[in-house]
């Protein structure tokens, strides 16, 4: 998943499309189609041994294994599998979809959009592609297009929480906090039973709510309580640490904010919001390395100034 705050809502195609990969003719094929992580990689690798390496079945298995490698953050291996799958079958939807997810994870947003556009043109009912295209549009600052995709995803799957989380993010970015809170509340109600739980953890909604309150600069003690609970559940999660760092920043507890941002960046060097706000604190302290932090944040998330401007946080503050 994309390593920014949006990591919380992006859907990996490995989970959504794996069933279209290998046939379940053996235990290896079953593992390739339904397992996750290293078990899925092993299953797909074994399944390939019994296939024509230049055949359509091999291409589907490679597409599925490429998605599994993406989930494991093994991006070079993922890209090699996905490119090979498309060499064999250039129109293979699974491979295009999983390559879009890979590009999203690598911050190659324009390339990701091209892949999602291809998939959605083939079949506009592929929920994961619509949700992830909305995510790419958000990062690029295309909020009208993002909202259109989020609305379409909700129509497609009204009982799934991820599209409501994405739409909540769009509302927050536009400064429409009441609408964002309503969508987040809907996502929380759906979460216990929806089919996105393989992409969600217990602390997710606590984290989103904490971050939302911090962005609005209100109920900061409540926000801190929510974030503390989330950190207790996921002490090494970069997004959770980033959210608490933002609360500390709002409370003018800058040393604690920097400590959380440092920890978030140790867990994920590409956590753009941590870089951005840490850079602001450094600038306020006349530390010139703050410029590098802010530049790095903008490279990862091109519309990050727009994100924080809605909360009254600016790089030159």
Report pLDDT digits (tens) over 227-265: 999 999 989 999 999 999 999 999 999 999 999 999 999
CB-based contacts of 171, cutoff 8 Å, min separation 6: 177, 179, 180, 183
Class of domain 5-199: mainly alpha
Residue 271 pLDDT > 60, yes or no?
A: yes
Assign 178 a pLDDT band (cuts: 50, 70, 90): confident
Residue 39 pLDDT > 60, yes or no?
A: yes
The reported pLDDT for the residue numbered 25 is 55
**CATH topology for the 213-309 domain:** 1.25.40
More confident residue, 202 or 136: 136
Assign 35 a pLDDT band (cuts: 50, 70, 90): confident
Cα 23 from Cα 44, distance rounded (Å): 11
Residues of the chain with CATH 1.25.40.10: 5-199, 213-309
Residue 111 pLDDT > 50, yes or no?
A: yes
The reported pLDDT for the residue numbered 43 is 92
Rounded average pLDDT over 189-215:
71
Residue 198 pLDDT > 90, yes or no?
A: no
- What percentage of the chain reaches a pLDDT higher than 70? 88
Task: Write the CA distances from 147 to 1, 27, 88, integer angstroms.
Answer: 20, 42, 35
The reported pLDDT for the residue numbered 194 is 54
Rounded average pLDDT over 124-135:
92
Find out whether 105 and 74 touch, Cβ atoms under 8 Å: no
Residue 27 pLDDT > 80, yes or no?
A: no
* 230-238 contacts at long range (C-beta below 8 A, 24 or more positions apart): 230/203, 230/206, 233/201, 233/202, 233/203, 233/206, 234/201, 234/203, 236/263, 236/267, 237/203, 237/207, 237/267, 238/3, 238/264, 238/265, 238/267, 238/268, 238/271, 238/274
Tell me what the pLDDT averaged over the chain comes to. 86
The reported pLDDT for the residue numbered 196 is 53
Rounded average pLDDT over 24-46:
83
Rounded average pLDDT over 292-315:
90
The reported pLDDT for the residue numbered 17 is 40
Number of CB atoms found within 10 A of residue 123's CB: 9
Residue 22 pLDDT > 70, yes or no?
A: no
The reported pLDDT for the residue numbered 222 is 96
Rounded average pLDDT over 31-55:
90
Residue 21 pLDDT > 70, yes or no?
A: no
């Amino acid at each position: 998943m994309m390593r920014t705050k949006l990591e919380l809502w992006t859907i990996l195609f490995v989970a959504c499309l794996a069933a279209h990969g290998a046939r379940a003719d053996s235990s290896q094929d079953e593992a390739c189609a339904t397992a996750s992580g290293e078990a899925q990689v092993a299953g797909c690798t074994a399944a390939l041994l019994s296939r024509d390496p230049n055949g359509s079945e091999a291409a589907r298995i490679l597409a599925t294994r490429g998605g599994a490698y993406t989930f494991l953050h093994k991006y070079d291996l993922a890209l090699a599998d996905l490119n090979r799958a498309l060499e064999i079958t250039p129109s293979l939807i699974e491979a295009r979809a999983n390559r879009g997810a890979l590009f999203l994870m690598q911050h190659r947003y324009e390339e990701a959009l091209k892949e999602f556009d291809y998939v959605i043109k083939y079949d506009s009912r592929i929920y994961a592609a619509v949700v992830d295209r909305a995510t790419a549009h958000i990062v690029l600052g295309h909020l009208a297009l993002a909202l259109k995709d989020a609305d379409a995803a909700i129509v497609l799957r009204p009982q799934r929480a991820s599209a409501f989380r994405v739409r909540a993010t769009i509302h927050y970015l536009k400064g429409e906090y009441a609408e964002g809170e309503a969508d987040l509340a809907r996502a929380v109600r759906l979460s216990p039973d929806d089919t996105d739980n393989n992409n969600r953890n217990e602390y997710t909604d606590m984290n989103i709510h904490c971050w939302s309150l911090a962005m609005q600069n209100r109920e900061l003690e409540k926000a801190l309580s929510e974030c503390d609970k989330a950190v207790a559940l996921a002490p090494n999660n970069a997004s959770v640490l980033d959210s608490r760092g933002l609360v500390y920043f709002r409370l003018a507890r800058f040393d604690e904010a920097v400590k959380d941002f440092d920890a978030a960046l140790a867990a994920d060097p590409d956590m753009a919001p941590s870089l951005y706000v840490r850079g602001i604190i450094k600038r306020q302290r006349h530390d010139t390395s703050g410029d590098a932090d802010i530049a790095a944040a903008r490279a990862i998330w091109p519309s990050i100034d727009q994100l924080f401007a809605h909360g009254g946080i600016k790089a030159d503050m």
